[in-house]
């Protein structure tokens, strides 16, 4: 295979897709299942590469829900731990599911895909109450040495001025 080609997994069907390296980061369709994708997958350059300073927050959790209502954890203990946050987005790890297409291995939760619009609820003790923010999933990568976990990067798309003000105050104190 030439170095001019990329090999990446489709975010929907998980099959290997080959593409010209010059198309990295551009929108496309999986030739196998027809799903819209970003060429190069979750590792493709995107606006998720935040310029804002990322800050870890202790004792914070996050929940994530798609437009169809999938993905809301049942109990607070099931909620993923918030790994870091900035004014423009949030990162957290979420437990995947056993991959049904392969006999071994794990895949991300089927309801969570790169490019998916979601509502992220921030459960940060310093904010006093949970805050909902509209976001889009920009990254969904396996966590090394933790086969069942996937690191999620979500970019905020709609956040109220009050939420942004609270986040700025919280981040300024770090």
Q: Which residues have C-beta within 8 Å of that of residue 115, sequence separation ≥ 6?
A: 11, 36, 37, 38, 136, 137
Binned at pLDDT 50, 70 and 90, residue 109 comes out as confident
User: Average pLDDT of the chain?
Assistant: 76
Instruction: Tell me the per-residue pLDDT of 22-46, one tens digit each, with 9 for 90 and over.
Output: 777 778 887 777 777 777 654 444 3
Q: Compute the average pLDDT of residues 92-118.
A: 79
Which residue did the predictor score with more confidence, 54 or 118?
A: 118
What domains, with CATH codes, occur in the chain? 5-43 (no CATH), 61-172 (2.40.10.220)
CA–CA distance, 46 with 26 (Å, rounded to integer) = 9
Query: Residue 29's closest CA among 5, 13, 48?
Result: 13
Which residue did the predictor score with more confidence, 156 or 77?
A: 156
Residue 141 has pLDDT above 70, yes or no: yes
Residue 14's pLDDT is 66
Q: Which two tokens stand for residue 76?
A: 């607070």
CA–CA distance, 79 with 174 (Å, rounded to integer) = 23
Residue 78 has pLDDT above 70, yes or no: no
* 24-to-4, 18, 19, 46, 78 alpha-carbon distances in Å: 11, 11, 8, 10, 35
């Amino acid at each position: 295979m030439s170095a001019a080609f990329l090999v990446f997994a489709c975010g929907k069907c998980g099959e290997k897709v080959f593409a010209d390296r010059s198309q990295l980061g551009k929108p496309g369709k999986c030739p196998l299942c027809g799903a819209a994708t970003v060429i190069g997958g979750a590792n493709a350059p995107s606006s998720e590469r935040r310029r804002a300073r990322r800050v870890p927050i202790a004792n914070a959790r996050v929940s994530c829900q798609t437009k169809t209502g999938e993905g809301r954890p049942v109990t607070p203990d099931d909620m993923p731990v918030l790994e870091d946050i900035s004014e423009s987005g949030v990162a957290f790890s979420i437990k995947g599911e056993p991959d049904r297409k392969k006999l071994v291995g794990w895949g991300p939760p089927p309801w969570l895909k790169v490019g998916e619009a979601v509502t992220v609820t921030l459960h940060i003790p310093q904010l006093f109450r949970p805050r909902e923010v509209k976001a889009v999933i920009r990254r969904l990568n396996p966590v090394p040495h933790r086969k069942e976990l996937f690191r999620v990067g979500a970019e905020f798309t709609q956040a109220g001025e009050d939420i942004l003000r609270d986040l700025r105050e919280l981040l300024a104190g770090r």
